[in-house]
Structure 1
């Protein structure tokens, strides 16, 4: 059956939070030494890791982590603790980095994001964005005029379900008005995004590489499934 709708994950799929040196100005380790490139990269990984818990949390913060994508306050609580345990000195610095994480303007689209969304929309294929997330990502699309090519956004904190719960995929499929069997889910995580197969959707995996290293990953994934 031909693909009538495509659902996209956000982080690591359509957009990526890229490493910017300026974010780490003034940050030092416990010995007062500025963080080196590897330490900065590890902080970025911990800020954007979609599933893997990267530090040991007490019961209170673990609870926040497990429900972070359903509640902005829990998201803030969990990530602030992770940043502190990752060597970010002081609450002010951790807050500043956290604000970067949840600011849609800081996220960078992959090189083929705009063209792929435009082509799908122009071909009459319904487009949805489905994300486990606790902040509104729509401004990232609106600022670049990409919202014109997205029919529906389903964000976990707004609907009360997180991937891979079948319910969250069903919500978007129903909103797009396409049978699950004619819908493709594109994402960077086999367990979370691949959960779409549980309701009959096809699934295409992309690697969450830096944007400069993945110039046509979306297009290749869609072509493999006959969606472009």
Structure 2
């Protein structure tokens, strides 16, 4: 097994997860049900579906005009496109505009993202071993404060964010940007993420790839540790 000199991580569904609090939906109801057999009430099922639509790494979940689709496809390159795209999803999902704005505000607030149980352990462990790390994310807002709040910002060597580098996974350019910054060849790097389609794009450059399940944080205690273990890194 090739010795790894760097590990790159996705953000959403890999290191952190956007997990709703019931209070986010207080006073909200749908203008129209998500499906014919639903009510206007935002119950647990509807909350889960709205959160899925806000965090799915690929695909689309609502009807879009060609213009809206263009915005959606480029949402992770510019903050204003990100806002426009997700407000469209929420409005098409039945939320009134002011409720959509409030919920979108949670999406882009790093304080609202929950770390997985082993995120801090893994980042600190890799740092101690001298294995370089990068967070490579399709995202249009600064996620560094989430790592600062967790106390792990100093354990991450590079943040390679799509809206800052102008490339979106699975485009090899975003992975190459991370490798160049880390000074590590692709064959010595592992990409860890929850999307085979997006994060697995690193394989085109010769990186190894480990897929993790974007389960709720309470249900995934050691997914990152296990992914690294499978590739010869024991922390």
How far does residue 171 in structure 1 lie from its aligned partner after superposition? Answer: 0.5
* Residue number in structure 2 paired with 1:54: 61
Choose the corresponding residue for 2:47, options 17, 40, 43.
Answer: 40
Could you tell me which of 67, 84, 87 is aligned with 1:80?
Answer: 87
1:16 alignment partner, SS class? strand
Among 54, 74, 81, the alignment partner of 1:67 is 74
For residues 142-221 of structure 1, the aligned pairs below 5 Å read: 142-221=148-227
Aligned length: 227
Q: CA deviation at 1:61?
A: 1.1
User: Could you list the runs of 4 or more consecutive aligned residues of structure 1 that deviate by over 4 angstroms after TM superposition?
Assistant: none
Q: Measure the CA separation in 2 of the matches of 1:87 and 1:20.
A: 19
Deviations 1:6-34 (A, max 9, x none): 00000000000002111111111237843
Q: In the aligned structure 2, how far is the partner of 1:123 from the partner of 1:183? A: 15
1:100 deviates by 0.2
TM-score (norm 2): 0.94
CA contact (8 A) 1:18 1:210 kept: yes
CA RMSD of superposed structures (Å) = 1.1
Query: Offset of 1:128 from its aligned partner?
Result: 0.5
Aligned residue number for residue 93 of structure 1: 99
Q: Is the 8 A contact 1:26 1:34 kept in 2?
A: no
Alignment of 1:115-126 (within 5 A): 115-126=121-132
Residue equivalent to 1:2: 3
Report the 3-state secondary structure (helix = DSSP H, G, I; strand = E; otherwise coil) of the residue aligned with 1:40.
Answer: helix
TM-score, normalising length: structure 1: 0.97
Residue 227 of structure 1 and its aligned partner are, at CA, apart by: 2.0
Structure 1's unaligned 5+ residue stretches are none
CA distance in 1, matches of 2:30, 2:10: 34
Contact 1:135 1:157 in 2 (8 A): yes
Partner-residue secondary structure (3-state), 2:133: strand
Aligned to 1:18: 19
- State yes or no: 1:27 paired with 2:33: no
Query: Which structure 2 residue ranges, 5 or more long, are not aligned?
Result: 33-38
Quick one: distance in 1 between partners of 2:42 and 2:19? 17
Contact 1:16 1:107 in 2 (8 A): yes
